[in-house]
């Protein structure tokens, strides 16, 4: 059964080299096992989703330029998340701040082709139906 995601959840990008943590601002005023609970709109780069170390996506212009400068040798560059769409699908039957709550089976897409997944939801007991 899916689990509710809260601040401090561990995230991973398919093109990132390191995990990151989710930051949830206390806008919805809903706490879950202590920290603020997340909804699908908690996808803003450098506000909710922090960098994943280095990015290796060839679609990322920084990586493409560095790879071209290295004569075609794939060259990762620092990650700057580019998540422009909300998490999907979310828990459609549980609303937080008039948006579906974020569960651990949701994913978020990066503009450079990466898939951001939730490795650890930071909750243990709270499940969403």
What CATH number is associated with residue 13?
A: 2.60.200
Q: Would you state the pLDDT for residue 114?
A: 97
Confirm whether 75 is domain-assigned: no
Confirm whether 129 is domain-assigned: no
User: pLDDT of 14-48, one tens digit each?
Assistant: 999 999 999 999 888 888 888 999 999 999 999 99
Confirm whether 67 is domain-assigned: no
Q: Would you state the pLDDT for residue 29?
A: 81
User: pLDDT of 114-128, one tens digit each?
Assistant: 999 999 999 877 666
The residue count for the chain: 129
For residue 14, the enclosing domain spans: 1-53+80-121
Confirm whether 59 is domain-assigned: no
What's the domain count of the chain?
Answer: 1
Confirm whether 42 is domain-assigned: yes
Confirm whether 63 is domain-assigned: no
Confirm whether 73 is domain-assigned: no
User: pLDDT of 41-95, one tens digit each?
Assistant: 999 999 999 999 999 999 999 999 999 999 999 999 999 999 999 999 999 899 9
Is pLDDT above 80 for 108?
yes
Q: Would you state the pLDDT for residue 111?
A: 97
Instruction: Report the predicted TM-score, pTM, of the whole model to 2 decimal places.
Output: 0.89
Q: Would you state the pLDDT for residue 1?
A: 80
């Amino acid at each position: 059964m899916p689990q509710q995601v809260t601040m401090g959840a561990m995230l991973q990008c398919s093109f990132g080299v390191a995990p990151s943590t989710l930051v949830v601002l206390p806008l919805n005023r809903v706490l879950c096992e202590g920290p603020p609970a997340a909804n699908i709109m908690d996808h803003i780069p450098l506000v909710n989703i922090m960098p994943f170390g280095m990015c290796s996506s060839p679609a990322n212009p920084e990586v493409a330029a560095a790879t071209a400068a290295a004569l075609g040798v794939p060259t990762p560059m620092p990650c700057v998340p580019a998540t422009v769409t909300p998490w999907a699908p979310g828990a459609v039957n549980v609303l937080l701040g008039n948006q579906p709550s974020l569960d651990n089976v949701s994913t978020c897409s990066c503009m450079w082709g990466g898939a951001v997944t939730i490795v650890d939801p930071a909750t243990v007991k709270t499940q969403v139906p």
